[in-house]
Chain A
Amino acid sequence: MPLNKPTRIELVQGTLDMLILRTLQMGPAHGHQIAKHLQRTTDDVLQVEHGSLYPALHRLEKKGWLVAKWELAAKDSKRQLKFYRLTASGRKQLLAEESRWSQMAEAIARVMWPVPEN
């Protein structure tokens, strides 16, 4: 059970948006798929409450980075799901956040593990 894992980390503030955008870069997905993807790819390390995903999705939709559409889950399925898709401005946003994030990570790394000068 994921709940019992002792090593779970709280998501850094503001990174959820970036993770969602990155996930959707691979193609349209519905909320549950995104949740599962995040869980799987981080080996359940990141603690993402499923519930917190949805406000984020709606926020991104409102900003125009995503568009949503109700579609059948599969051709034979009766279940309709709300699929989110990345827009052009969403892609741009992802790039911006990615570079910001890598800059920050680099900066942190330089402080934490300084390379001795010679």
Chain B
Amino acid sequence: MTWWKRKNPGDELERELRVHLEMEAEERQQEGLSSTEAQLSARRMFGNLTRVQEEIHEMWTWMWLDHLLRDLRYGWRGLYKSPAFTLTAALSLALGTGAALIVCGVLESAFFNSVTATDADQLKNVEIDGQRFSYPYYKQLSTSAQALADFAAYDQTKLSFSSGDELRSVAADIVSGNFFQVLGVAPVIGRSFSGDELRARSQPRVVVLSHGFWQREFKGDIGVLGRSVKLNRVPFTVIGVLPPSYRSIHGYGITPDVYTPINSLLLGELDRPDNERLQLICRLRADAGIVQLETSLLASAVRWKQQFPTEINRKHVVRLSPLTGLERLRNDGVPMEMALFLGFLILSAALVLLIACGNVGSLLLARGAKRSREFEVRRALGAPRFHLIRQLFIETFLLAVLGSGFGLALYLVASSLIDKMQPSLSLPVEVHLHLDVRILVLTASLTLLATLLVGLTPAIQAGQRYALVSARQVGGELPLRRILIMSQFAFAFVLLVSAGLLLRSLARIAVVDPGFNVKQVLLAEPFLQLREYSPQQSQQYLRAALAETKRLPGVRSVSGATTVPLGLEHSVMSMKVGARIIQRVHTNSVTADYFRTMGIRLIQGRQFQETDREGGRPVAIVNETFARRYLENQALNAKILVPIPGQPPTFVGVEVVGVVADSKYGTLGEDPTPALYWPWTQKYAPLTILIRSDGSQSNQLAVRQALATLDGHVPIKLQLMEERIAGALLPSRIASGLLGAIGTLGLILAAVGIYGVMAYNVSQRVGEIGLRLALGATRVQVLQMILRDALRLAFIGLLIGLGLSLLATRMISGILAAGISAIDPLSLGSVGVLLSMTALFAALLPSWRASRVDPAAALRSE
């Protein structure tokens, strides 16, 4: 039987016992006693009625629940009555948990690539020979392996978007019509692409918007569905908006603005087998094995290459890799160091939480000292020790709930702040902090963790107290207090040293030389494709644009390049030197003045000249790495075979006429990579115009006007090279920002905590101090004594911290920038000094207060 099934169990019990007493009394009366006497006698026979009732009641009810509720009520009242304590403790915990939540949120959003998809485990990234796919190739693969998996293709590009009279470039994903079905993502309003749009070659053109783009451009207007927008000057009908939580397949917070089917954009070029620009993903069918699929794809690849042979024939490699997690990071070439560093960020958040817990622990310790009398009384009245400790834990739990509630609020505030300050970058990166189940679970676990960590202190203290006869006769220090002070110093030391080392490393990476001069270079990117110029017309336009901008006042040099380094897109290809195949060479088609404009040093040979014309002898310039690795430093006049796309592909020999210094092409962190430049005059492609000026402000406007006189209908995107670099530095900026914030937070918390413990320490020794003063100690002596004591503890803590941080920094030594040692005397020394100062200041006020103790009052209170 359970308690809730009983109709008021207390009543029934009372009736049972009453009947017993009545019957007993009746019997006594029959024996000749008076009614009153009989009742009394019955009661005597019975014993302690109340206790019996309580005992039985406890048997049947969930007594622990009653106790729990009572303790919760009691704890809440206690916290409510001392708001200063409660707020301080809760805020400490809020900072700790908030920091942990924000770090996890940012990392999850920006780095760990949780691609939005149903059953993301079944989704694989498809790579064959490390190359991209043409549309016909994609079709062949997906048809031949359709029994095993569904394939979808996508490519990242930029489109012009007409908003009013203005033309802007937007980040677009052009995707196969089944893209969202394969991902298993449905738009939050409207629909995704249908089968018709899969097949249709032109009409109707449709587009799906990202949530952010919808908010920015259309103010979240539902009426946007069915409306026509112009992309590359062509009308597209908006058919859907993706959910706000949608994370694109690109990961790293990259969020394209619009999605449109491949067919509606790549009309003419779609069927060309050499137009290899698509990336593939596939969703494995439930009954299909990954090995089976790999085999099938390999067979397909062999068939394809027989059909469309390339000059560079090699063994085919099929790779199916996951879209998320660490493996994705590895596949994307994100250095393990970065992953380690991210892990370290989480660790430092944990350290901050530990320090915050230490704070609250010391606050509770001080509070426990004030409440010792209450506990003595309760203990004397028979409260079991277990009950008292349970109550302490419950109070701590309440504090932790409050704290992590505030922490969650902090997270939400940070989330809306980050939403507002989305950086305008060359990359369409959006970092969002989401409030989802995982964050709530994390919050709950942090609450429990904090409860356990913090709750230990008063519980141990309570345990110790009852081991002794009375709290008040404790003259010296309990070891707990010492441990607390020392551990706070030690944790703070580890945190600050590691954060300091990493910040210095990041700062050093940030000044990594990209190999070219970024200052005062303006990039002007004309979107020519939407003017439907013929190649000749766009060449004419670009030549005119180069000439026009060169004429502007303050302009030092002007050049053009097909690819601007450190951007989203870079072109990489394979080529041959003799019989040797060289893979992944960065290529760029540039005008004559490119190296001058970028400040890239010419080491050997000559620059491109106007005489390097189409139809003339094909020439190229390589970088140092190329020359050293593949040409044995005999670069000049060497012949390199470059594939010319076509059916079948052919090779053309180009002659190296110059060697330039290495620079960075894809990312700032990359190792020296081979690169090859050819003259734009021999290899035409759309250009971005690079303008080096003397830095006058009117420059951007002047450039825009000059280009507008050529053709006012060409949208121009202007960007400073420095801004573009800033985009490349974003990951390490985010990281160092987080780290700096966490380090500061840790220091503040540690300082507050140390002060708290020191103050408590002094308050515990008031009696002793009073006695010393009464016996003739001077106030200066007392001041010295307390200070010495505090600093000794701090010093031991620092030593422990030093030992621990030597261990910790050894672990992170792999991710430190070159030239920064894990045992960095500067970092260790400055953190040591900083914490010693903190300890000194934290101890000063309590010591001074101690020296002001009135001996008479102090002794009386004893």
Q: Do A and B come from one complex?
A: yes
B56 interface neighbour in A3, A30, A55, A81, Cβ under 8 Å: A55
B49 interface hit (Cβ, 8 Å): yes
- A54-B52, A54-B56, A58-B60 given as contacts; is B46 within 8 A of A32 (CB)? no
Q: Identify which of residues 27-56 in chain B touch chain A, using a CB-to-CB cut-off of 8 Å.
A: 44-49, 51-52, 55-56
CB neighbours (8 Å) of B777 from chain A are none
B20/A32 in contact, CB under 8 A: yes
A49/B47 in contact, CB under 8 A: yes
A79 interface hit (Cβ, 8 Å): yes
**CB closest residue in chain B, given A33:** B23
Contact pattern, A 1-15, Cβ under 8 Å of B = 1, otherwise 0: 011000000000000
B16/A51 in contact, CB under 8 A: no
B24 interface hit (Cβ, 8 Å): yes
CB neighbours (8 Å) of B45 from chain A are 2, 49-50
A51/B60 in contact, CB under 8 A: no
CB neighbours (8 Å) of A62 from chain B are 1, 59-60
CB neighbours (8 Å) of B17 from chain A are 54
Whole-angstrom distance between the Cβ of A37 and the nearest chain B Cβ? 13
A22 interface hit (Cβ, 8 Å): no
A50/B56 in contact, CB under 8 A: no
- A49-B47, A62-B60 given as contacts; is B19 within 8 A of A55 (CB)? no
- A54-B52, A55-B56, A58-B56 given as contacts; is B44 within 8 A of A3 (CB)? yes
Whole-angstrom distance between the Cβ of B686 and the nearest chain A Cβ? 85
- A31-B16, A32-B20, A32-B24 given as contacts; is B47 within 8 A of A51 (CB)? yes
- A32-B19, A32-B20, A50-B20 given as contacts; is B59 within 8 A of A55 (CB)? yes
How many angstroms between the C-alpha atoms of A45 and B26 in the bound complex?
Answer: 23
A54/B59 in contact, CB under 8 A: no
Q: Identify which of residues 34-85 in chain A touch chain B, using a CB-to-CB cut-off of 8 Å.
A: 35, 49-52, 54-55, 58-59, 61-62, 79-82
**CB closest residue in chain B, given A79:** B19
**CB closest residue in chain B, given A58:** B56
How many angstroms between the C-alpha atoms of A49 and B12 in the bound complex?
Answer: 21
Contact pattern, B 745-765, Cβ under 8 Å of A = 1, otherwise 0: 000000000000000000000
Whole-angstrom distance between the Cβ of B230 and the nearest chain A Cβ? 78
How many B residues have CB within 8 A of the partner chain?
Answer: 21
B23 interface neighbour in A32, A54, A61, Cβ under 8 Å: A32
CB neighbours (8 Å) of A52 from chain B are 47, 52
A-B contact pairs, 24 of them (CB 8 A): A2-B45, A30-B19, A31-B20, A32-B20, A49-B47, A50-B20, A50-B45, A51-B48, A51-B49, A51-B51, A52-B47, A52-B52, A54-B20, A54-B52, A55-B52, A55-B55, A55-B56, A58-B13, A58-B59, A58-B60, A59-B59, A62-B1, A79-B19, A82-B16
CB neighbours (8 Å) of B51 from chain A are 51
Whole-angstrom distance between the Cβ of B48 and the nearest chain A Cβ? 6
How many angstroms between the C-alpha atoms of A59 and B52 in the bound complex?
Answer: 12
A50/B47 in contact, CB under 8 A: yes
CB neighbours (8 Å) of A2 from chain B are 45
CB neighbours (8 Å) of B60 from chain A are 58, 62
A51/B46 in contact, CB under 8 A: yes
A51/B52 in contact, CB under 8 A: yes
Whole-angstrom distance between the Cβ of A17 and the nearest chain B Cβ? 14
Whole-angstrom distance between the Cβ of B64 and the nearest chain A Cβ? 16
How many angstroms between the C-alpha atoms of A54 and B426 in the bound complex?
Answer: 82
Whole-angstrom distance between the Cβ of B564 and the nearest chain A Cβ? 81
Whole-angstrom distance between the Cβ of B270 and the nearest chain A Cβ? 78
Kindly list 17 other residue pairs between chains A and B, CB separation below 8 angstroms, not including A32-B19, A51-B51, A79-B19. A30-B19, A30-B20, A32-B24, A50-B20, A50-B46, A51-B52, A52-B47, A54-B16, A54-B20, A54-B52, A55-B52, A55-B55, A58-B56, A58-B60, A59-B59, A61-B1, A80-B19
CB neighbours (8 Å) of A49 from chain B are 45-47
CB neighbours (8 Å) of A3 from chain B are 44
How many angstroms between the C-alpha atoms of A30 and B15 in the bound complex?
Answer: 13
How many angstroms between the C-alpha atoms of A30 and B24 in the bound complex?
Answer: 13
Chain A, interface SS category: helix
7 smallest CB-CB distances across A and B, nearest first, come from A51-B47, A49-B47, A51-B52, A51-B46, A50-B46, A32-B23, A55-B55
Whole-angstrom distance between the Cβ of B34 and the nearest chain A Cβ? 15
Whole-angstrom distance between the Cβ of B323 and the nearest chain A Cβ? 56
Whole-angstrom distance between the Cβ of A2 and the nearest chain B Cβ? 8
**CB closest residue in chain A, given B27:** A36
**CB closest residue in chain A, given B16:** A82
How many angstroms between the C-alpha atoms of A82 and B60 in the bound complex?
Answer: 17
How many angstroms between the C-alpha atoms of A10 and B44 in the bound complex?
Answer: 17
How many angstroms between the C-alpha atoms of A31 and B51 in the bound complex?
Answer: 17
Q: Identify which of residues 146-170 in chain B touch chain A, using a CB-to-CB cut-off of 8 Å.
A: none
Whole-angstrom distance between the Cβ of A67 and the nearest chain B Cβ? 10
Whole-angstrom distance between the Cβ of B532 and the nearest chain A Cβ? 88
CB neighbours (8 Å) of B48 from chain A are 51
Q: Identify which of residues 48-102 in chain B touch chain A, using a CB-to-CB cut-off of 8 Å.
A: 48-49, 51-52, 55-56, 59-60
B19/A81 in contact, CB under 8 A: yes
CB neighbours (8 Å) of A79 from chain B are 19
How many angstroms between the C-alpha atoms of A82 and B12 in the bound complex?
Answer: 9
Whole-angstrom distance between the Cβ of B624 and the nearest chain A Cβ? 87
Most buried by B among A31, A32, A80, A81: A32
CB neighbours (8 Å) of B49 from chain A are 51
How many angstroms between the C-alpha atoms of A36 and B58 in the bound complex?
Answer: 26
CB neighbours (8 Å) of A54 from chain B are 13, 16-17, 20, 52, 56
Whole-angstrom distance between the Cβ of A4 and the nearest chain B Cβ? 12
CB neighbours (8 Å) of B1 from chain A are 61-62
How many angstroms between the C-alpha atoms of A54 and B24 in the bound complex?
Answer: 14
How many angstroms between the C-alpha atoms of A31 and B52 in the bound complex?
Answer: 14
Contact pattern, B 275-307, Cβ under 8 Å of A = 1, otherwise 0: 000000000000000000000000000000000
**CB closest residue in chain A, given B59:** A58
How many angstroms between the C-alpha atoms of A82 and B56 in the bound complex?
Answer: 15
Whole-angstrom distance between the Cβ of B210 and the nearest chain A Cβ? 62
Most buried by A among B23, B24, B44, B49: B23
**CB closest residue in chain B, given A54:** B52
CB neighbours (8 Å) of A59 from chain B are 59
CB neighbours (8 Å) of A35 from chain B are 20
CB neighbours (8 Å) of B46 from chain A are 49-51
How many angstroms between the C-alpha atoms of A55 and B55 in the bound complex?
Answer: 7
**CB closest residue in chain A, given B42:** A50
Contact pattern, B 793-808, Cβ under 8 Å of A = 1, otherwise 0: 0000000000000000
**CB closest residue in chain B, given A59:** B59
- A3-B44, A32-B19 given as contacts; is B24 within 8 A of A50 (CB)? yes
Most buried by B among A30, A51, A61, A79: A51
**CB closest residue in chain A, given B57:** A58
How many angstroms between the C-alpha atoms of A81 and B24 in the bound complex?
Answer: 13
How many angstroms between the C-alpha atoms of A32 and B46 in the bound complex?
Answer: 10
CB neighbours (8 Å) of B55 from chain A are 55
CB neighbours (8 Å) of A81 from chain B are 19
How many angstroms between the C-alpha atoms of A35 and B19 in the bound complex?
Answer: 13
Q: Identify which of residues 4-23 in chain B touch chain A, using a CB-to-CB cut-off of 8 Å.
A: 12-13, 16-17, 19-20, 23
CB neighbours (8 Å) of A50 from chain B are 20, 24, 45-47
How many angstroms between the C-alpha atoms of A52 and B56 in the bound complex?
Answer: 10
CB neighbours (8 Å) of B56 from chain A are 54-55, 58
Whole-angstrom distance between the Cβ of B261 and the nearest chain A Cβ? 70
How many angstroms between the C-alpha atoms of A51 and B50 in the bound complex?
Answer: 10
Q: Identify which of residues 97-112 in chain A touch chain B, using a CB-to-CB cut-off of 8 Å.
A: none
Whole-angstrom distance between the Cβ of B692 and the nearest chain A Cβ? 90
How many angstroms between the C-alpha atoms of A30 and B48 in the bound complex?
Answer: 20
CB neighbours (8 Å) of B13 from chain A are 54, 58
Most buried by B among A3, A79, A82: A82
How many angstroms between the C-alpha atoms of A114 and B19 in the bound complex?
Answer: 48
CB neighbours (8 Å) of A82 from chain B are 12, 16, 19
CB neighbours (8 Å) of B16 from chain A are 31, 54, 82
How many angstroms between the C-alpha atoms of A47 and B23 in the bound complex?
Answer: 19
How many angstroms between the C-alpha atoms of A50 and B23 in the bound complex?
Answer: 12
How many angstroms between the C-alpha atoms of A81 and B48 in the bound complex?
Answer: 21
